[in-house]
Amino acid sequence: MSLLPRHVAVVSESKSVSADDLSPVAAALQKQVSRDFGPIWGVNGTVDSFARLEDVPVDYWPVILEDDIKDPTAAGYHTDKNGQPFSLVLADEGWALTTSHETLEMLADPFGNRTVAGSPPQQAPPSIRKLKRVLYLVEVCDPCEDESCSYSVNGVTLSDFITPHYYDPTEQTSVRYSFRGKIKSPHQVLNNGYISFGDPISGNWYQIEVASNKASLVNLGKLDATGKSLREQIDLKTRQNRKSQGYRIKSKPLAMTAKAGAAAGNSLRQSGEGRAKMLHEVIKTLKA
């Protein structure tokens, strides 16, 4: 595991998500990173919530919740003028799940250019499967990003993720390709997920996208290696291509739901009420 820690800051600039809502989600994310994700990916990472963007230390990578991102294709991964990563997340009903997705992908590949060579995905059409080698962009949540693959940490719904074995050359028994085990073989894409890969000879990039349990090939074209990172370019193209599907955007903004400010952290807060009451009683006896 890397000795130099990577720090992620979760910040809300949304009127619908308060600091009280953010704290339990950040705590769940920290547990996910230290218990589940970090040991598998060799990442030493921290996740903390902050009341304001101005409070975030300069060596933290922020994930920022916004009520309105204007164009939804502007959400997701970006780099600032110093080349440091940050992510924008729309404060809708699924903001905790999306924040987990962005946090894990940022920790695995903060600068958006990490690739792994391998054979083409088996779900690709014959014209692509005949390629000898392709380059996979390391996107640890995209192949299993459907909400049915998510799992609960501290009562908060967080994203599933692939393991490094996902890039193995051959399928093996007793090997876990995703944390929850729903991916059964290398390079497999589950329903509502996708995987991005490039042809190193032609320079063309593609995606295998699975919708309604049917795989299809998306041609992303050539990417400009001299400009933004691979992930930033692919993330933008993905959101543009899937904009009509409401990609990673729930049907209702959080402000219109019955539990606007407490949607993600409410279950954790309720479960802690009994223990908090007990501790307050103990503290009173100590002060007596």
Q: Sketch the domain layout of the chain as residue ranges.
A: 6-258
Residue 262 has pLDDT above 60, yes or no: no
* pLDDT one-digit tens code per residue, 245-258: 666 555 555 554 43
pLDDT at 48: 98
For residue 30, the model assigns a pLDDT of 98
Condensed to tens digits (0 to 9), the pLDDT of residues 60-114 reads 999 999 998 887 778 889 989 888 999 999 999 999 999 999 999 999 999 999 9
- Residues sharing a CB contact under 8 Å with residue 242, sequence separation 6 or more, in sequence order: 209
Sign of CA dihedral 81, 82, 85, 88: negative
Strands (E), the chain: 6-12, 45-50, 61-66, 76-79, 85-90, 115-118, 134-137, 151-153, 156-158, 194-198, 204-211, 214-222
| Collapsed DSSP state (helix, strand, coil) of residue 18 | coil
> What's the predicted TM-score (pTM) here?
0.88
pLDDT at 258 (0 to 100): 37
Among 196-200, 227-231, 232-236, the range with the most confident prediction by mean pLDDT is 196-200
